[in-house]
């Protein structure tokens, strides 16, 4: 490289220099990017390709993988009720918790947007659960709070209601996880707040001159102008909740119990791979999950044409 440079040096002619310089800069840029590219290839792309291959094999970790074609994919949908159950549990979780969480986030963002005194403090407090929500510590706390002798039941007993062990009852266990998810509304709330700030106040002034009430203003100004943000949050939260793992893993002690009531798809995948020594099957599940999420995201984008309003179209 040094030789190259010195031989190039004696002929500094016009525009050549600039291309050479830009080429050199490009080289430097690639050099700086190299560690990332290597990481991407080795840590992300490599395993992704390996997992695609493994999904067509019977692989128990201890012996060589043997090719079984589509067997894993067929088994999933024809002879594994636990897999179908895990899809059902995950779907319920996503369908219930995402809209609830977004509604919560939006409601709080609207309140905070009023310009309360000490806004930053409130904002931080409400954002806190988002930072903690995915953590192991909170999941353990959840088990205690919703346990038979937990905080929730202590509170209910004040009113003479005798609660159950919420986390360990199959009818309510998933509910506690949904509440945990809704509780982590901070991230979408912050994004909503930013979106609300972008709506020009002149719109509201004009509307109130025209005699529109608060609710009317919300429906006709805030909501339509906020649809891109709602869309953004919706897509991200759907993807995120499909991939939820920690909550169910910790709250159920890694079993998806009671009676598979909290068996998320990701948890079943994990158990299949590492506990049942069925890594090929687990890899196939991962790919189906990817397809499901990608498909849903695609549908979301298509549907967005009909309800998302970008402010500069009719």
Q: Is residue 274 a contact point for another protein (CB under 8 A)?
A: yes
| 259 scored as a contact of another protein (CB under 8 A) | yes
Report the candidate in 97, 253, 258, 89 with the shortest Cα–Cα distance to residue 173.
Answer: 258
Report if residue 164 touches another protein, rule: CB under 8 A.
yes
Closest to 246 in 3D by CA, of 138, 146, 171? 138
Q: What are phi and psi of 118, to 5 degrees?
A: 70, 30
Residues 134-153 that bind another protein (CB under 8 A): 147-148
Nearest distance from residue 10's CB to another protein, in Å? 45
Decide if 87 contacts 265 (C-beta within 8 A). yes
- CB nearer to another protein: give 126 or 281: 281
Cβ distance to another protein smaller for residue 112 or 264: 264
Q: Which is nearer to another protein, 8 or 291 (CB)?
A: 291
Nearer residue to another protein within complex by CB, 224 or 257: 257
First to last CA, the chain: 58
DSSP 197-226: HHS-HHHHHHHHHTT--HHHHIIIIIHHHH
- Among positions 103, 140, 170, 303, the unique one binding another protein when judged by CB under 8 A: 170
- Rounded to whole angstroms, the Cα distance separating 272 from 293 reads 20
Phi, psi torsion values for 122, nearest 5 degrees: -60, -45
The reply on whether position 303 binds another protein by CB under 8 A is no
Q: Give the span between the Cα atoms of 253 and 146, in whole angstroms.
A: 14
The structure tokens listed for 306 are 């009909």
**Should residue 227 be labelled a site residue for another protein when binding is judged by CB under 8 A?**
no
Q: Is 255 in the site for another protein (CB under 8 A)?
A: yes
- At its nearest, how many Å lie between another protein and the CB of residue 300? 9
Which span (94-102, 189-197, 198-206, 271-279) binds another protein, by CB under 8 A?
271-279
For the chain, how many residues are written?
Answer: 314
Within residues 89-108, the interface with another protein by CB under 8 A covers none
Q: Which is nearer to another protein, 20 or 297 (CB)?
A: 297
Which two tokens mark 10? Answer: 């004696």
| Long-range contacts at 63-72 (CB < 8 A, ≥ 24 apart) | 65/279, 65/280, 68/280, 72/280, 72/281, 72/283, 72/284
In the shown chain, the binding pattern of residues 46 to 65 toward another protein, with x for contact by CB under 8 A and - for none, equals -xx-----------xxxx--
- Comparing CB distances to another protein, the nearer of 212 and 227 is 227
Is residue 311 a contact point for another protein (CB under 8 A)? yes
Residues contributing to the site for another protein (CB under 8 A): 43-44, 47-48, 60-63, 147-148, 164-171, 228, 231-232, 235-236, 239-240, 243, 252-255, 257-260, 271, 274-279, 290, 293-294, 297, 301, 310-313
């Amino acid at each position: 490289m040094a030789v190259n440079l010195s031989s190039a040096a004696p002929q500094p002619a016009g525009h050549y220099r600039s291309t050479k310089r830009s080429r050199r800069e490009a080289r430097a840029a690639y050099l700086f990017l190299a560690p990332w590219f290597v990481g991407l290839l080795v840590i992300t792309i490599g395993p992704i390709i390996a997992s695609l291959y493994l999904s067509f094999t019977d692989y128990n970790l201890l012996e060589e993988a043997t090719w079984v074609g589509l067997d894993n994919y067929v088994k999933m949908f024809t002879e594994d009720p636990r897999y179908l159950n895990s899809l059902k549990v995950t779907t319920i979780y996503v369908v219930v918790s995402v809209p609830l969480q977004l509604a919560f986030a939006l409601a709080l963002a609207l309140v905070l947007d009023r310009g309360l005194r000490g806004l930053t403090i409130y904002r931080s407090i409400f954002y806190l659960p988002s930072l903690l929500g995915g953590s192991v510590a909170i999941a353990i706390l959840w088990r205690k709070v919703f346990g038979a002798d937990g905080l929730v039941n202590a509170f209910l007993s004040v009113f003479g209601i005798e609660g159950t062990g919420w986390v360990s009852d199959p009818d309510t266990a998933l509910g506690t996880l949904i509440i945990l998810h809704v509780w982590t509304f901070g991230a979408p709330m912050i994004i909503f707040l930013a979106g609300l700030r972008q709506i020009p106040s002149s719109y509201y002034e004009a509307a109130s001159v025209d005699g529109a009430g608060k609710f009317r203003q919300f429906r006709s100004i805030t909501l339509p102008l906020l649809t891109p943000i709602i869309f953004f949050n919706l897509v991200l939260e759907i993807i995120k909740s499909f991939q939820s793992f920690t909550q169910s893993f910790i709250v159920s002690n890694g079993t998806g119990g009671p009676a598979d009531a909290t068996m998320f798809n990701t948890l079943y995948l994990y158990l299949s791979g590492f506990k049942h020594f069925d890594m090929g099957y687990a890899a196939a599940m991962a790919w189906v999950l990817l397809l499901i999420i990608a498909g849903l995201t695609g549908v979301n984008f298509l549907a967005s044409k009909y309800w998302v309003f970008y402010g500069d179209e009719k």
